[in-house]
Structure 1
Amino acid sequence: MSDMMWGGRFTKAEEKNALDFNASISYDCRMYKEDIAGSKAHAKMLARHGIISKEDCEKITEGLSAIKKEIDDGKFPFSIELEDIHMNVEKRLTDDIGDAGARLHTARSRNDQCALDLHMYMKRQIGRVAEKLISVEEALLEAAEKYKDVILPGYTHMQRAQPVLFAHHMLCYFAMLERDFKRLEECYDMADMSPIGACALAGTTYPTNPLEEAEELHFSKVYGNSLDAVSDRDYLLQFLSFASICAMHLSRLSEEFIYWSTSEFHFIELDDGYSTGSSIMPQKKNPDMCELIRGKTGRVYGSLIGLLTVMKGLPLAYDKDMQEDKEGVFDAIDTLYFALDIYAGMISTMTVNGKHTREVLEHDFSNATDMADYLAKKGLPFRQAHAVVGGAVHYCIEHHKVLHDLTMEEFKSMSPLFEEDILEALKIENCVKNRESYGGTGPKSVERQKAHGKEAVAAMKEKAAQWKESMAFLG
């Protein structure tokens, strides 16, 4: 007979290679706080309804507290033979307190127990990720304020397009991460649902009350269908979707920082603490943190695609395939957590070469649209104005000039609508200052964006504090 806790109907032990393949303790041990808290709540509920005695409940609670301390202290001997965190804790509890420990699993299955642990774990981790995301948002706001007067080229197709404030550029990434935080709120809402009481798939014959356990564990709601409770992994997919989009945003910023820190651009310099050197070329200063974050984005995508693929053909209710839900999620959490942490520090310590970003605009045609707008405001249809300016750019290229190098005689030869004030319209500072349309790069518009950002961060902090407080009972 197998000596596994589920082995009563088996006549032989599991093969060693099958046991190693089947076990998940190497990674699901990180959910020990959730597993122990869930078991304590379950024992209390069983005792309240007379399913186990109060004495057994007290023994279970004390035994679980002792196990948690041992794990906290790094002294607990996890066993691969016991497969997972649930069986490791339960076996040790039963060894320590006897029959009372063996009664803990009444009206519960590993299916709903595992789902419960994951729901709680995700709630706790979402709060941790939220704090790091907010730190990046604050760093972006600080950079926007610190370099509020810096102007740099804005690009389309990686070609110089129009001048923008550096603050405007940073606030674009703020807006991306603000949307990410809203997605994170949806992740928390989906994780904030207790599956306990569903048992294996069909509920239980015992007079339990899942609502009591949910309240004890700080859940706001309970699954209404037991099949759904044990088979749902949408909340994990939702988080991986959030993580993938957030990582993509960080990757886009990484791409720009990599370009901007080259000698060719020389727009920014990353702090030495967030750069590395070359083992052979002494002069090198490499943006390795940016490159790693850009590279690890594919890893986060892989976790999302992996779990979507696992789930796509599963019949109801629980299938062992679903054990594959954890490693990718855990890896995505760790990857995103460190990427956000790195970016908060990297943005806060970088140096922006504002003098250089401004100078390069004196040698290109980033003010061409302003020249066309000038003619349109004088009454020339914009499409015709566009053609005039296109011709002017061509003329300048042939004569090794830029637009503000043209003489009034040259301007007049291109259109009689040009007056002396065209030179003011073409000044880079004015090209920026005059774009005060809602959401534009004008200084007043950017100040409005910064004010909104501060309000948004305050709201994010309040929400993240609520999430953290909700899970503080885990210790």
Structure 2
Amino acid sequence: MTDPRLADVSVFPDPIYKETVLRPLFDGAKNHHVAGFRAIDRAHLVMLAETGILDAEQARGIAQALESIENEVNPSALVYTGEVEDFFFLTEKELKERVGPDLGGRLHTARSRNDIDHTLFKLGLRERLNLLIDKALKLHAALIAAAEREKTTLIVAYTHGQPAQPTTFGHYLSAIIEFVRRDIERLFDAYRIVDLSPMGAAAITTSGFPIDRARVAELLGFSEPLQNSYSCIAGVDYITATYSAIGLMFLHLGRPIQDFQVWTSFEVGQIYVPNSLVQISSIMPQKRNPVPIEHLRHLASQTFGRAQSMLTVMHNTPFTDMNDSEGETQAMGYGAFDSANRVLDLLAALVAQVKINPLRVRANISRSCITITELADSLVRREGLSFREGHEIAAAVARAVVAMDGDLVSDGYAPFSDAFGKAVGRQSTLDEAAFAEIVSPEYFVAVRTRYGGPAPAPLNAAITGYRQDASRFAEQHQIILRRQADAARMLNERFGAVKGNA
């Protein structure tokens, strides 16, 4: 039998492999990761020079060649030919052509495509997370401003799709603020994992050269190196943490978006969307279509789906460096950021402009008897009844008012007096004015003064806390951005010194 290796005269790359794998990977790198490649080359070179692994003359020659490549090679104009395997080897080829194969090959001392790749992907995620967090903070601020503006604006709150109790729009928006706050915290938690540098892990086990991993991390703007070198090339939790946080945020945002869709319906009419966010029908002149809400809904779902796809790709993969987590998968995930940013921008604009229709809210409160819970509660407090007794009396009143298609405030006292007398055997101490006050939506909200309730005191306290959260988040993000900006300046200065500018 003949060893097939001896008879193999094929030449890499196979044409099909070139078109189905190598070309898409090359195009993805030139579209998404060129700036990252260049920053990594510069930072690694500076570290090699500072540690003495390269002498000053060697480092200067490589630095000058890297700069000439940056000035002369336009990545967007490159067409993949198969002459080199990928974008990394293209840069190395250009470098060797300028300084010779010996010096050109020295830049790769103590590093591998493994640690380079994961550093590239973290740089790409870091940039996108910075933008996403910024937009999430703007939505958070828009929600807080709207909650402040609408803190006394009555709405109907629903459970199981049916009118349940009155509250205020500010109280409802505050509920959104609280989960958005938690979602922002999850984004920052994911960011902390992304913000650990893999450079210096090399292929798996670091290197016998006296490299300074912390210095490269500093020059690239990372908070610090990721400690275990095997984890640097095998741990994909920076991917799963990022897309889990994104997926949860947009799963959560989809729920109030769905509420807004229902609330703008003709039958409910609780929310009014201004003309600037309404499209008209091409054939029915009476229609006002608040289609931005529909776009919010499907874009939030697309974002969630794209994030979930990233987790699915990571599922059941080996704990090692592997292509599953690399170029094309990373590019697929960037679509989640694109749709996420659109949702955050549009939702912030919508929240800032929508208004509650008070006439429709009043009408819906009147015909649904949703203040009746407070009648039962008040009977406990004012008449000394058990809650169950109060509940049964209140239920009888609601049935009577609904049957007459009446209004609880103006038509409910007579049924109340009758139901109370039958149940308790005496007249209520509540007169008609007291009854009308108790079943009004304003009173319903005003007496709910407990922590987290819609009454002015707890809601004002909550909004104060939300503003403190917003300030804390903004400062936390600014610290990160300042560190990265300082690192970029430092890298530019140190690279210039190595090149011979200073």
Same fold, TM-score > 0.5, yes or no: yes
Deviations 1:422-452 (A, max 9, x none): 2211111111111111010112221112111
| Superposed displacement of residue 408, structure 1 | 4.1
| Superposed displacement of residue 66, structure 1 | 4.9
Partner SS, residue 217 of structure 2: helix
The one of 122, 126, 140 equivalent to 1:123 is 126
> In the aligned structure 1, how far is the partner of 2:96 from the partner of 2:287?
60
The one of 353, 358, 361 equivalent to 2:357 is 353
The one of 335, 340, 344 equivalent to 1:340 is 344
TM norm structure 2: 0.86
Q: Which consecutive residues of structure 1, in runs of 5 or more, have no partner in the other structure? A: 1-8
Report what 2:500 is aligned to: none
Report what 1:436 is aligned to: 449
Q: Which consecutive residues of structure 2, in runs of 5 or more, have no partner in the other structure? A: 1-7, 421-426, 490-502
Report what 2:190 is aligned to: 187
AA of the residue aligned to 1:26: D
Report what 1:309 is aligned to: 312
> In the aligned structure 1, how far is the partner of 2:42 from the partner of 2:65?
10
> In the aligned structure 1, how far is the partner of 2:429 from the partner of 2:164?
22
Answer yes or no: is 1:239 the counterpart of 2:245.
no
Report what 2:428 is aligned to: 417
The one of 410, 422, 439 equivalent to 1:405 is 410
TM norm structure 1: 0.90
> In the aligned structure 2, how far is the partner of 1:13 from the partner of 1:267?
66
Deviations 1:28-85 (A, max 9, x none): 43222222111111111122233333233234334444555678x8765253745654
Report what 2:58 is aligned to: 56
> In the aligned structure 1, how far is the partner of 2:107 from the partner of 2:67?
14
Answer yes or no: is 1:260 the counterpart of 2:273.
no
Change (3 A) 1:136 1:211: same
Report what 1:289 is aligned to: 292
Contact 1:375/1:418 (<8 A) preserved: no
Contact 1:63/1:97 (<8 A) preserved: yes
| Superposed displacement of residue 234, structure 1 | 0.5
Change (3 A) 1:128 1:84: farther
Deviations 1:198-241 (A, max 9, x none): 11222223222212211222222322222211011111111111
Deviations 1:266-320 (A, max 9, x none): 2223344444344444444333332223223333333333333333322231122
- Greater CA deviation, 354-363 or 235-244? 354-363
- Greater CA deviation, 387-396 or 89-98? 89-98
AA of the residue aligned to 1:340: L
- Greater CA deviation, 457-466 or 291-300? 291-300
Larger radius of gyration: 2
Answer yes or no: is 1:138 the counterpart of 2:137.
no
Report what 2:11 is aligned to: 12
AA of the residue aligned to 2:329: D
Change (3 A) 1:376 1:123: same
Report what 2:376 is aligned to: 372
Report what 2:114 is aligned to: 111
Change (3 A) 1:10 1:89: farther
Contact 1:137/1:457 (<8 A) preserved: yes
Report what 2:27 is aligned to: 26
Alpha-carbon RMSD across the aligned residues, in angstroms, is: 2.5
> In the aligned structure 2, how far is the partner of 1:65 from the partner of 1:274?
48
> In the aligned structure 1, how far is the partner of 2:68 from the partner of 2:40?
15
> In the aligned structure 1, how far is the partner of 2:270 from the partner of 2:359?
9
Contact 2:139/2:345 (<8 A) preserved: yes
- Greater CA deviation, 440-449 or 60-69? 60-69
> In the aligned structure 1, how far is the partner of 2:78 from the partner of 2:295?
35
Contact 2:367/2:402 (<8 A) preserved: no
Change (3 A) 1:198 1:305: same
